[in-house]
Structure 1
Amino acid sequence: MSPIGYTYLNQLYKLLLPKLNVEVFADKSVSADSIVDFGSSKRRVIPATRKITDSPYEHMCAAIKYQGIRLHFFAAIFKVIDVNEFADFIRASPQSKYNRVLWFLFEWLTDEELPIPALTSGNYITLFDDAFYYTLKDGIRHKRMRVINNAIGNRDYCPTVRKTKQIQKIAGIDVYETAYTKMQSLGDVLSTDILGRSINYLYTKETKSSTEIENERPDKQRMQRFLNAVKNVGLFELNKGKLIDIQNQIVEERVRANDYRMDEIYVGSTIQRYNIVDEDVHYIGPLAKHVPGMMAGLLATHENLMLDRSMPALIHACIISFGEVYIHPFIDGNGRLHRYLIHDVMKQREAKHKFIIPVSASILRNPEKYDQVLESISRPILSMLDYSFSDDSKIVINNDIEYMYRYPDFTEHVKFVYDMMETAVSSELIEEVCLIICFDTLKDHINSTFDISNKNIDVLISLLLSNGGTLSKSKQSYVQQFIELKHLPGIETVAKAIIEKIMSQFSVNIPELMNRK
């Protein structure tokens, strides 16, 4: 087999870029295209009768034809090609579709003009094929090579999302409509009061879960600030000033930012073994000098998508939130800001939504999936970086692979966020309503029979729900301070009946939910 397209170029220019999930090879022994397994990845095998010369520029055209536009590859390639040879190749057939795309990509990504005269005739072509990529409806027309740049971002930052079968299926689903339908399926038990209290708790749960993902235990004041921020998503323009303001609300005072970070940063932990300090690095952010430009590009992408409105809101939210966490613009708070942005962008796109879907709670339950999707970007970056640590444990980055950060593919990230949203709708929303129904029903019964303070009733109910409707002997000595123990069997009978009814009707486990909280 002979490598084609990006695989060929990767080897020719010694780019050392991690291979794509599907590599293309030509084989003399086959007569039709096929996809074959190759370890953990796949190969697309094409007949070798399709003549592709050993010209790197022919392989650039083949790369686009068979694998689409991978911006990080072209950004790396254009740093090492012979520009005069490349210009000669384009000049030989300037009207060719693939040549015009290559011509545009070079001048767009490098901000340099090739010595080629502008075209004076011919139809316009789009840069990205919207059958395979999410694009802007109305791109920018470039007369020079008659190309419409319909990329969602710009030179400073341009993520892509491919229209795979899974992603196109997801794109047609409104997660909020799904949530409304789920809530309505509860029937008459769902009162306006119960819904309101459930929503209030979901904000609290999202705040708590988002901090727990970071293994943090912030003080009450900081938790309240983050809660207020989450409750007010979508109310303000998303710009640099607002990002800094949110970061200031969710971190300790000593790490509050007044601008983007000025130092290199990594995510990891320090492990000391036998007097040897070992840094366990999970992720390294882009060089600090690139952060302002990348963040400006990310915010410009958000602006483009807000004006265009053709991209589904969930995909838009995913692009902006994950873009922020990989750029890592601040010393601290990037992870919580990332999850805040999911809700902020969703609310900016659809102001009618009255509550948030607690995606952080779902992520907290699925840390391995979260790590896996983060590593789809972080592992290739770490494999390419040459870094070390100074005597004072600061990270030193010895090579610049900024294109790996500027042009990410977020296709897998979109699928992950949707899965987490779907899990939250199916579990977090319904579970909270069921808990409140159990609590309220049992409270009404106790209130109608006994004269006990609200505080003590709440304690009693919590103990009963946590233990499946019975009170453990160890708790009875406390409860008998406000209710005679002879009344407990009757209360327990009612509690068990309420719990069993809700559990059978809505397929939830009340004791498990109480103990999880």
Structure 2
Amino acid sequence: MTGAPQYQFSGVVTVFHDRRLPEEAQPAGYAALIDAYGLGVPVPLTLAAIGQRHKVYEAEDWRIYTPRHRPDDSLTGHLTFALRYEGLDLCVLKALFRRTGPASIADIVRGAPTGAFARRVWFLYEWLLQARLDLPDARAGAYAPVVDPGQQWATEGTSSTRHRVKNNLPGTPAFCPMIFRTPALEGFVARNLADRARALVADVPADLLARTAAFLLLKDSRSSFQIEGEDPPQERILRWGRVIAEAGRRSIDLEELLRLQKIVIGDARFVRLGLRTEGGFVGEHDRSTGTPIPNHISARHQDLAELVDGLIDFDRTAARALDPVLAAAMLAFGFVYIHPFEDGNGRLHRFLIHHVLAERRFNPPGVVFPVSAVILDRIDDYRRTLESYSKRVLPLIRWRPTDRNNVEVLNDTADFYRYFDATPHAEFLFSCVARTVDVDLPAETAFLKAYDQFKTRVKAIADMPDRLLDLLFRFLRQNGGVLSRRAREKEFAGLTDAETAEVEAIFAELNPRAI
């Protein structure tokens, strides 16, 4: 290539960037490009290499290809391999294009002006860098999709006549996570959980459904605080629950996010509301010195306005062309990685899940899926999901402690938050939504049915106020269906032995303790 610098591609290795290979193999595609061009980017979750066997297989975060898949040791060779076999990693591609400069990419296009690969690379260069190459518009070649929809989730797309490609990227240059098609995600989408949820509640009486919805809403609101290690007063839990109930009714913009943050925080005497004006991190402080010990470093405050605009634009455009759960994962986890506020990010992150699902009418009308409650039950999985990206990004961020025991980021990190692999996040969120549909919604409806039947049948034995019926029910549920001696001698001393036995038999028959 004219005037292009020469870069050395790695030979056969057993370790690459601290990752052991399952056999001696030569890194290919993105792995080869990251190494040869010295790209400071998060290494993809799965890397590719050329092994000695004549069978493609996966092991230990590697996909090992056969010798016949070996690309030329050149920019074109490994870039072609990456786009063909590894899908799009926009963070790697943008860093690569910055390193190669425009001439090398223009040479690729001039070498094969009608080739689908060259036109895809050309489009991606101009789209990612928002810079025009010195090339005339394409005049021939069938329109090719920028994203291979067989590998990654994409939109229907719009035509780019300059490049003769279909831009089906699931986002904008300002914010565009990618999600790979996996058997787990294909299975979740095929189940059509939204229709299943509507079918579950179709025959539930309106009053019972309203009570079910109210309980699930309260459960989600309380759990969202508990995830953050907070135990607020009931009034604050109820207030946030009312906000969750309104999710999807208002479009998301900065003003709305600021309104929600104010509600989340409540007492803002010691918290600065609005976008951060300094660094941010999630982690601990050294007990002796106060020095930050980050597990995650948030986006630089200088980049927040642009990144939040990207999130908002994504929510208004591409998110509406994707499966609702996939879109919710991309938006919500993108928000929590950016961490735009000093406090309240976690609860707003989970609110955005509700926002997308409600706006897209994924959940039945008036019913909130208690996603936060499922997350609380699976808190270790949730943290592993967050760390699936944070751990890969953290070593790439250069920072120093400030005199306020905060962090100051010293390098350009904005693209780390724009372009990330959201596949683990989508799988996790879909599993949470599936549990609410398969377990929580039918269980809560069944529980309330059993509770109503219990009250009706016990009232036929002994007429008592609802307050005492509720207490009786709770005592039985807490004590394995048997009324304790203390309860029989105090609160329910008025019941005869025969009546007590009959009440316990009713409870055992309805079996609400097992729900």
**Same fold flag (TM > 0.5):** yes
Give the deviation of 1:98 after TM superposition. Answer: 1.5
> Who is 1:195 aligned against?
209
| Contact kept? 1:7, 1:24, Cα under 8 Å | yes
Structure 1 window deviating more from structure 2 (373-382 vs 247-256): it is 247-256
Does residue 489 of the first structure (1) align with residue 507 of the second (2)?
A: no
Amino acid at match of 1:387: W
> Who is 1:318 aligned against?
329
| Contact kept? 1:152, 1:304, Cα under 8 Å | no
Residues 102-501 of structure 1 correspond to what in structure 2 (within 5 A)? 102-139=121-158, 141-182=159-200, 191-254=205-268, 259-272=274-287, 275-277=288-290, 279-305=292-318, 308=321, 311-350=322-361, 353-476=365-488, 478-479=490-491, 483-484=492-493, 487=495, 489-501=497-509
> Who is 1:55 aligned against?
74
CA distance in 2 between counterparts of 1:296 and 1:18 reads 23
Does residue 64 of the first structure (1) align with residue 62 of the second (2)?
A: no
Amino acid at match of 2:172: N
Give the deviation of 1:202 after TM superposition. Answer: 0.9
Give the deviation of 1:246 after TM superposition. Answer: 1.7
CA distance in 2 between counterparts of 1:197 and 1:318 reads 28
| Contact kept? 1:468, 1:496, Cα under 8 Å | no
Unpaired segments of 5 or more residues in structure 1? none
Give the deviation of 1:280 after TM superposition. Answer: 3.9
SS at match of 2:99: coil
**What CA RMSD, in Å, does the superposition of the two structures yield over aligned residues?**
2.5
| Contact kept? 1:182, 1:426, Cα under 8 Å | no
Quickly say closer, same or farther: Cα 1:431–1:278, change in 2 above 3 A.
farther
Does residue 10 of the first structure (1) align with residue 34 of the second (2)?
A: yes
CA distance in 1 between counterparts of 2:286 and 2:392 reads 23
CA distance in 2 between counterparts of 1:176 and 1:256 reads 38
Give the deviation of 1:19 after TM superposition. Answer: 3.5
> Who is 2:66 aligned against?
46
Does residue 88 of the first structure (1) align with residue 112 of the second (2)?
A: no
Q: Percent identity?
A: 26
Give the deviation of 1:156 after TM superposition. Answer: 0.8
| Contact kept? 2:481, 2:513, Cα under 8 Å | no
Amino acid at match of 2:223: S
Give the deviation of 1:366 after TM superposition. Answer: 0.7
CA distance in 2 between counterparts of 1:406 and 1:491 reads 65
* 1:429-463 deviation digits (Å, cap 9, x = unpaired): 23323432343333234433435443233223222
CA distance in 2 between counterparts of 1:344 and 1:50 reads 44
CA distance in 2 between counterparts of 1:215 and 1:44 reads 43
CA distance in 2 between counterparts of 1:404 and 1:495 reads 61
Give the deviation of 1:176 after TM superposition. Answer: 3.2
| Contact kept? 2:292, 2:406, Cα under 8 Å | no
CA distance in 2 between counterparts of 1:65 and 1:495 reads 68
Give the deviation of 1:348 after TM superposition. Answer: 1.1
Give the deviation of 1:391 after TM superposition. Answer: 2.9
| Contact kept? 1:182, 1:430, Cα under 8 Å | yes
Give the deviation of 1:67 after TM superposition. Answer: 0.7
Amino acid at match of 1:162: F
| Contact kept? 2:43, 2:392, Cα under 8 Å | no
* 1:389-426 deviation digits (Å, cap 9, x = unpaired): 22321112122232221111212211111111222233
Unpaired segments of 5 or more residues in structure 2? 1-24
* 1:228-256 deviation digits (Å, cap 9, x = unpaired): 11111222122222222222212133167
Amino acid at match of 1:227: G
Give the deviation of 1:82 after TM superposition. Answer: 4.3
* 1:89-139 deviation digits (Å, cap 9, x = unpaired): 332222222222222211211122222233233332221122222222132
CA distance in 1 between counterparts of 2:26 and 2:38 reads 16
User: What is the number of residues matched between the two proteins?
Assistant: 489
| Contact kept? 2:90, 2:419, Cα under 8 Å | yes
Amino acid at match of 2:277: M
Amino acid at match of 1:34: V
Quickly say closer, same or farther: Cα 1:16–1:138, change in 2 above 3 A.
closer
Does residue 35 of the first structure (1) align with residue 57 of the second (2)?
A: yes
Quickly say closer, same or farther: Cα 1:305–1:83, change in 2 above 3 A.
closer
Give the deviation of 1:488 after TM superposition. Answer: 5.5
CA distance in 2 between counterparts of 1:428 and 1:453 reads 29
CA distance in 2 between counterparts of 1:89 and 1:152 reads 25
SS at match of 1:400: coil
TM-score under structure 2 normalisation?
0.87
Give the deviation of 1:362 after TM superposition. Answer: 1.0
Quickly say closer, same or farther: Cα 1:415–1:461, change in 2 above 3 A.
same
SS at match of 2:66: strand
CA distance in 2 between counterparts of 1:339 and 1:416 reads 13
Amino acid at match of 2:214: N
Quickly say closer, same or farther: Cα 1:270–1:434, change in 2 above 3 A.
farther
